[in-house]
Amino acid sequence: MKKINSVEDLRKAKEKILAGMHGKGKGEKEKVLVRVHCGTSGLASGAKEILDFLTLELEKRNIDATVIRTGDMGYCYAEPTIEVTRPGESPVVFGYVDKIKADEIIEKFIKNGDFVDGIIPVNYRTID
């Protein structure tokens, strides 16, 4: 992307990014978005392995998904944690994710929308 030279540039860039984010608006089906929380506590509990596992397996299993790496949400006691957003639905956070749990999340939640144990409900207010 070119340099942002004015406030208008910033706002335009923002709109463009929002429109193109995570497969949105590309004329294709919206993608599943998976956030793997990779801050120090996540990584110390094995988040990198989960990130790699999900990236590889989602592709192998032909699921149209974007996997991104983020910081931690503060759920240190339940790391590794991941957040999954199915198209058009609210994000769901899962804790204590190992490879077995990750596999279950792909098969049950990502594919069919069935919840699995280990959900961490949204327990905070946001600012907007």
Partner 1 sequence: MTKKKIQIIVCGGTGCSDKNSNAVAESLTIEIEANALENDVKVVRSGCFGLCNLGPVVRVMPDDVVYIGVKPSDAQEIIDEHIMKGRVVERLLFTDALTGKKLRSAQEMSGYRKQMRIVLRNCGIIDPENIEEAIAHDAYEALARVLTTMTPDEVIKIVKDSGLRGRGGGGFPTGLKWEIARKNKADEKYVVCNADEGDPGAFMDRSVLEGDPHAVLEAMAICGYCIEASKGLIYIRAEYPLAVARLKTAIAQAKEYGLLGENIMNTGFSFDIEIRYGAGAFVCGEETALIHSMEGLRGEPTVKPPFPAEAGFRGKPTNVNNVETFACISPIILKGAEWFSSIGTEKSKGTKVFALAGKINNVGLIEVPMGTTLREVIFEIGGGIRNGKKFKAAQTGGPSGGCLTEKHLDTPIDFDNLVAAGSMMGSGGLIVMDEDDCMVSVAKFFLDFTVEESCGKCAPCRIGNKRLHELLEHITKGKGVPADLDRLRNMCLVIKDTSLCGLGQSSPNPVLSTLENFKDEYEAHVTAKKCPAGKCRDLMEYFIIAENCVGCTACARVCPVNAITGERKEPHVINPEICIKCGACKEKCKFDAIIIK
Q: Is 102 left (phi over 0), alpha (psi -120 to 50) or beta?
A: alpha
**Least distance to partner 1, CB of residue 7, Å:** 4
**Least distance to partner 1, CB of residue 66, Å:** 10
**Least distance to partner 1, CB of residue 50, Å:** 14
Give dist(CA 86, CA 31) in Å, integer. Answer: 7
Nearest to 106 by CA among 48, 41, 39, 36: 36
Span 55-94, contacts to partner 1 by CB under 8 A: 68-78, 81, 83
The interface mask with partner 1, positions 19-58, x = CB under 8 A, is: --x-------------x-x-xxx-x---------------
What count of other Cβ atoms lies within 10 Å of the Cβ of residue 117?
9
- Helix or strand holding residue 8 (H, E): helix 7-20
Piece in contact with partner 1 (CB under 8 A), picked from 50-58, 98-106, 113-121: 113-121
Q: Is 27 left (phi over 0), alpha (psi -120 to 50) or beta?
A: left
- List interacting residues with partner 1 (CB under 8 A): 1, 3-7, 9-11, 13-14, 17-18, 21, 35, 37, 39-41, 43, 68-78, 81, 83, 95, 112-127
